[in-house]
Structure 1
């Protein structure tokens, strides 16, 4: 087995597994019983998207895609922090209303 054939098979399998993870995360976003579950699924979705971009970078040999993955990681981190802060403030407001 040549190294090129091995890389082709490895990236194909990685893309298939990432596609399965993408489907599972989308299902969790839609069916999530609570808002924190949906936020975690959205974070998983960005991580899977980073995996897709990284796998495409390895498959094509264009390392510019890694810059895109880095930007996606920063954007996903900021979105997760913002949504977590929103949940925290929402819970604080709900508990203040119950105390009064």
Structure 2
């Protein structure tokens, strides 16, 4: 039963990732694109965790943690650039 739920969740998260990619490409403004990129990080983390659950491997959880850290730093840097025009003060 859990395998079926994981497979359905993988399909739904993949669809969400594709829709976020569309928003990233077509987004009407730069903040919308930054938000779409941040949401893509979250969706990719969810995909890795679900795939790790299906394969019963801890390696995917470590990769998800690395993507979470890089996503946070990237979002902060892009937001700071958008607000001030400079990343390093």
TM-score calculated relative to the size of structure 1: 0.83
Moved runs in structure 1, 4+ residues, more than 3 A? Answer: none
1:76 CA displacement: 0.2
Structure with the higher helix share, 1 or 2: 1
Structure 1: runs of 5+ lacking an equivalent: 1-5, 91-100
Matched residue pairs, number? 85
SS in 2 for 1:23: helix
RMSD (Å) for aligned C-alpha atoms: 0.7
Structure 2: runs of 5+ lacking an equivalent: none
Aligned to 1:83: 78
Larger Rg: 1
TM-score calculated relative to the size of structure 2: 0.92
